[in-house]
Every structure is written in C-alpha cells, then in structure tokens.
Amino acid sequence: MENAWFRRFHPSAAPGARLVCLPHAGGSASFYFPVSRALAPDVEVLAVQYPGRQDRRHEPFVPTIGELADQITALLRQESSLPTALFGHSMGAMVAYEVTRRLEAAGAAPEVLFVSGRRAPDRYRDDRVHTRSDEGVIAEVRRLSGTDTDLLGDEEVVRMILPVLRNDYRAVETYRHEPGALLSTPVVAFTGTEDPVAPMPDVEAWTEHTTGGFELIPLPGGHFFLTRHQDVLLRTITGRLAGAVSA
C-alpha cells in the first residue's frame, strides 16, 4: 500500500520481513536509503517520511511525538502481515518506542525494537534547543554533526531546514513518558560511546521499559556514530530478523 509516509526505495516481490526506519530530528526518509539497498530483497525497508520536509515540505508539521506515533501506527496496521521490526535514531527512537507501545496494545507486537543514539523514554534533559535563536539551533546541529555542515553555510538551505529542526526539537523536548505497561518486545540499543546527549547510564535505562529482553551495543563515536558502523547495525538487524522469520 502506497502512502505519503512510507518510502520503499527497493521494492521486493516476496520479502521475508519488514524493517520500519524512523529518522532523527531534521532528518528524512532518504537517510535510510543505504539500509534499504543493503537489506533488499530479503527485508522490505519502510523509511518514514515525516510531513514538512523534502517532497512533503508544503504539509504542516506534526507537533508531538504522540501524534506522529498515532499516524504511523494506523498506517502500519494497514500493511500486509510480515515479521516486523522498528529502527529509530535519536528522535526516531522515541517515535519507534511509542509506535511499538501502540502496536502491542493492538495485539500486533513487533519482533524487536532497535533504538539508536537515544536515552530511555523517562530520562530527560533541559536543553530547550527549540527556544534558541536560529544561530543557537544551527550551533547545536553542528555540535552533533547531524547535518552536512557545508550545507549549513548555504543561507537558502538554512532557511529551508530551520523550521523543520525547530519543530522536531520541540517535539522531542516537550515529550514526557506516560507510565503504563512495559513492552514485551525485545529492545536492542545502539549508542555512541562519546555521544554528548545519550550518556551510557541513560541508554542502559532502556532495560527498565521491556520484559522482552535488552541488549546494549556501544560503538565508538558521537551522536551520529551509526554512519561509521553501518556494518555492525546491519548484521545485528539481519540476525534478529532471521531468527524471527525462522521461529
């Protein structure tokens, strides 16, 4: 089923499993093009395109993590039945967690939840990046190296991406975890050992949010460590999904 939210960069006639990939703040579905290419045709990758960016730039932003999760969950429920896992980096990890909660409540629990570069849902920071000046928002993005810094020198590009970044930071920074049932879905957390916004104790705290088992995979690097360790991520994802398909 085609819709504005999901990108199938490498469609497969008969995939054995599905991986739903959710972008970071300011990110887009195209960030996961290499993942789709690497996993096709055995795994169908659905890269999520949030409203307000790229080909959806004229659509209004979704202002909260919960509303994003509601809409993505409803669309996933319309997809064909396949063993499914979710992967989210940074902001995407929070959206993936909330989608997983909703899928479990609907009796459609994923096989595994992969979170990357993100503290556990109940661990907060008082950063308030979304309230900073334009220069302050850009400085934070440069600090985390989340966007090509050469592009940030292009005034036209900056004008385009600043509203996206500010909306996404607002969604993340105003999110508050609502207590409820623990997940039954296993959680695998990838983290950069030098990530300034996801210290190891806060990432380890994901274990408190699931009864399905928890694995922590620390890798050298900062907040965007995953771009240097795609091989490790892909091996882990394919191994977990292969186990789910054969189970």
- Left if phi > 0, otherwise alpha if psi is -120 to 50, otherwise beta: which for 17? beta
> Which pLDDT belongs to residue 159?
65
Tens of each residue's pLDDT in the chain, 247 residues: 468 999 999 999 999 999 999 999 888 999 999 999 999 999 999 999 999 988 998 999 999 999 999 999 999 999 989 999 999 999 999 999 999 999 999 999 999 999 999 999 998 777 776 666 777 677 777 766 654 445 455 556 666 778 888 899 899 999 999 999 999 999 999 999 999 889 999 999 999 999 999 999 999 998 889 988 999 999 999 999 887 665 5
Give me the pLDDT at residue 164, please. Answer: 87
Q: Give residue 49's pLDDT.
A: 97
- 125-160 burial code (b ≥16 CB/10 A, e <16): eeeebbeeeeeebbebbeebebbeeeebeeeeebee
Is the C-alpha dihedral spanning 57, 61, 67, 68 positive or negative? Answer: positive
Catalytic residue among 28, 36, 90, 116: 90
DSSP 218: E
- Please give the pLDDT value at position 169: 87
Global confidence as pTM: 0.91
Judge whether 145 counts as a catalytic residue: no
Digit-coded pLDDT (tens) for 180-204: 999 999 999 999 999 988 999 999 9
